[in-house]
C-alpha cells in the first residue's frame, strides 16, 4: 500500500541533493531543492534527523530522514553507543521484560495522543519495577488492556498503519509478534507483558529477538512523520540491543 512510493525513493535520496542551489543561502541556510514526490508535485527535499534523543523514541536510534513535506521518502538508520546495558541485580529479568513492554506501550500511547492510557501504562511499569507489586500490577495491567482494547477511536487512528504480513516478517527477519498493523502490535505488546507477569519467577522469559535496524528504516519509508513515529514505537524495541555493530553518527 504505502510502499509503492518507495521504489523511486530509495535512489533519489542523497544523490540529487541541492547541487545547483548551494550558492544561494539566505541566513547561511542553503535553499532546498525539489525532487519527484509521490504526488507528482516535485516538492522541496528536506533532510532531518530523528533521534538519538527524542521523547518516546528508542534511545540511541538515529534515523536520517529525507522528507518531502512531512512524508519520509528515504531513511537511513544508525545506532549510537549501542551495547548491552548493565543488568540490575535487584530486579529480575522477568520484571524488566514486563516493564520494558509497558514502557514501550506508554510511549506508543503517548504518541497516539492517548494521555490517560499512557499515564496508566507508566504506572503499571512503576508498579512492576517496585518489588512485590505484582498482584496490584496485574490488576492494573488488566484494566489498561481493557481500556486500550475498547477505545474505538484508538482503533480508528492506529489501524492500517504500518501493516506487516507474514512475508514482510520473513523478509526482514522480524519476530512473529510484530505481525499486523500498529494496533495489533500494541495489543500484542500488552499481552506479552501480561504473560510475563503471569509466569513464575523461575521461568526464563524468552529473549527478545533483535530487530535489524535496516528494517526500521525500510518500514518507515513512504509514511508521514506521525505514522513513522507510531511504527517505530510499535516495533517494541529493547533499549540499545539492536543487532548491529556500534557506529558513531
Binding stretches for another protein (CB under 8 A): 1-2, 4-5, 21, 24, 26-29, 31, 33-34, 38-44, 46, 48, 54-56, 67, 69-70, 109-117, 119-120, 122-123, 126, 151, 153-154, 156-157, 159-161, 222-227, 229-230
42 vs 243 by CB, closer to another protein: 42
Q: How many whole angstroms separate alpha carbon 235 and alpha carbon 19?
A: 36
Task: Please choose, from the candidates 123, 126, 113, the residue with its C-alpha nearest in 3D space to the C-alpha of residue 143.
Answer: 123
The minimum distance between CB 100 and another protein, in angstroms, equals: 20
Question: Beta partners for 79?
Answer: 61
217 vs 230 by CB, closer to another protein: 230
End-to-end C-alpha distance for the chain, whole angstroms: 32
The minimum distance between CB 151 and another protein, in angstroms, equals: 7
Which set of grid coordinates corresponds to residue 219? 518500514
Question: Beta partners for 63?
Answer: 50, 77
The minimum distance between CB 177 and another protein, in angstroms, equals: 22
The minimum distance between CB 245 and another protein, in angstroms, equals: 29
Give the three-class secondary structure for 202: coil
DSSP string, 72-134: EEEEEEEESS--PPPP-TTS-HHHHHHHHHHHHHHHHHHHTT-HHHHHHHHHHHHHHHSTT-H
The minimum distance between CB 159 and another protein, in angstroms, equals: 8
Amino acid at each position: 500500500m504505502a510502499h509503492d512510493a518507495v521504489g523511486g525513493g530509495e535512489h533519489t535520496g542523497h544523490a540529487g541533493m541541492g547541487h545547483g542551489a548551494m550558492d544561494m543561502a539566505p541566513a547561511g541556510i542553503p535553499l532546498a531543492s525539489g525532487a519527484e514526490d509521490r504526488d507528482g508535485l516535485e516538492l522541496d527535499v528536506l533532510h532531518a534527523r530523528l533521534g538519538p534523543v527524542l521523547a518516546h523514541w528508542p534511545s540511541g536510534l538515529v534515523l536520517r530522514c529525507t522528507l518531502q513535506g512531512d512524508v519520509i521518502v528515504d531513511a537511513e538508520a544508525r545506532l549510537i553507543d549501542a551495547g548491552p546495558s548493565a543488568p540490575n541485580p535487584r530486579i529480575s529479568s522477568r520484571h524488566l521484560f514486563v516493564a520494558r513492554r509497558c514502557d514501550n506501550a506508554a510511549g506508543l500511547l503517548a504518541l497516539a495522543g492517548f494521555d490517560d492510557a499512557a499515564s496508566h501504562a507508566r504506572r503499571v511499569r512503576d508498579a512492576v519495577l517496585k518489588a512485590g507489586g505484582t498482584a496490584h500490577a496485574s490488576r492494573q495491567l488488566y484494566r489498561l488492556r481493557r481500556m486500550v482494547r475498547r477505545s474505538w477511536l484508538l482503533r480508528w487512528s492506529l489501524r492500517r498503519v504500518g501493516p506487516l504480513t507474514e512475508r514482510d516478517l520473513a523478509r526482514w527477519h522480524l519476530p512473529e509478534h510484530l505481525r499486523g498493523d500498529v494496533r495489533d502490535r500494541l495489543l500484542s505488546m500488552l499481552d506479552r507483558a501480561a504473560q510475563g507477569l503471569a509466569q513464575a519467577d523461575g521461568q526464563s522469559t524468552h529473549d527478545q529477538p533483535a530487530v535489524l535496524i535496516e528494517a526500521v528504516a525500510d518500514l518507515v519509508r513512504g509514511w508521514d512523520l506521525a505514522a513513522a513515529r507510531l511504527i517505530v514505537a510499535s516495533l517494541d524495541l529493547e533499549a540499545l540491543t539492536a543487532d548491529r555493530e556500534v557506529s558513531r553518527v
